[in-house]
Structure 1
Amino acid sequence: MMVTTSEQPTAGQVERAKHLADKLKLTYAHRGKITLKQLSEKWQCDRFVRVDREGYQLVGPRQAPFYFHPSMAYIRVQRMMQGDWSDGLCRASEAETGDHVLDCTMGLASDSIVFSYLTGQQGRVTALEAEPVIHAIVQEGLARYTTEEADINDAMRRIVCVQQDHQSYLQAQPDNSQDIVYFDPMFRKTDVASASMSPLRDIADHRPLSLAVVEEAQRVARKCVVMKESRYSKEFERLGFHRIIPSGKTAYGVIRL
């Protein structure tokens, strides 16, 4: 994997790309006026993090690009703004204004956005992502992407993104330092069919949650630990989530503290 820019980049884009390459410990590939396919052949590389005026994208000549978009989070929050509080995450977590939430599996940040809206300006959402490239793309998107809803934009800007694996992060936290600790190990599921996620499969963390991690989460959380999984997953029982709240094809397991 390498870092590059759009065709005929501005000086600012080149500078940002070089800075990102240093941060990710990747090589910067000068783009100039050549196509992505030509760049791939020149460097014998089939995947690039591209810096352009929209932000960062994961691209390649034989794959769909991956870029940040609030996606279903936008629709979910809009429903809440209209008074519909039936969202599964909302019901499972019972998140309130001012809560501190630790999202241990940021991914595309959809649930972090929902949490940020629920907890408001007095709350705090910290989103962890172990994979540096996913972290960089989503962090940049949360800071730059603008929707037509000011409340959703504000919710995205408030999220604090941390590039670290959740086990080591949890181990370093004091007891009862978060209100809610949340897990959605989505990349472990082989039935996730979203085309927007497919470019991330070979770089994402596929490891299942361990019982030790869930126990750490219970130590850190003050109110509850929540996990999203397939509706009939055996992970809930294995990890001690006995209260299950169905939500379509998925479900939320809850450990109340």
Structure 2
Amino acid sequence: MSYKIVFFDIDGTLVNEEKEIPQDTILAIKELKERGVEPVIATGRAPYFIKPLAESLGIQSFVCLNGGYVVYKGQPLYKRQIAKESLETLVKLAGEHDHGLVFEGEHAFYSDREDHPFVTESVLSLKVDLPGYNPDFWRDEDIFQVFLHCESQDEPLYESLKSDFTLIRWHPFAMDVLPLGGSKAEGIAALLKELGYTAENAVAFGDGLNDKEMLDFVGFGVAMGNSHPELLPYADYVTTHVDERGIRNGLIEAGLLPE
């Protein structure tokens, strides 16, 4: 199979627990580009969270917000907003339980709580700035993803939302809230269509629960050695840990780099 494009998750895939890019990963991405294969970031993060990393790797294209916002070579290509009526339902229910929300728009993100400890701990774990405070941000701007801050034992409180949303836990205190059926695979499909590629032309690397659909969709899915155990059945290959040449070894297995 002739793979033409490779999608890389960020946290736990391109960067380690310290949010640093291993030097070997930097070199592997450089070699991949020299061989004419395009690297693309595919992340749950918003576009304003990833620009320094993308610039350091020389990557101009990304599938952000778990497939909700796609940019190709610096130009927005695809957007999937959350319906306002669905957001209103979410805001009402989360408010009843004092669970903080963070609304992610195209250019900024805001919380509906000031100094909420779960918001602070989860967002700072991403090594980014904390959101501003604007409980009405969702009313005025297009929202592509929401962080819902609650612990796992509180998830049953949100069962009624599953007719409108997909919920994916990414932190002990936080879940991603996406439009129903939303995933990185959706954004990747939109980009591949624009480029005239099929899913079989693509490789993807990931490590988390929000990478299931992506690895299952592409021609060759690679799970990192540090992946969540529930991701492994969706992968064609399990590479080594992010800090143990995981990206390079996966690219070698895909036939995209020499041994």
Assess same fold via TM > 0.5.
no
User: Larger C-alpha radius of gyration, 1 or 2?
Assistant: 1
Greater relative contact order structure (CA < 8 Å, 6+ sep) = 2
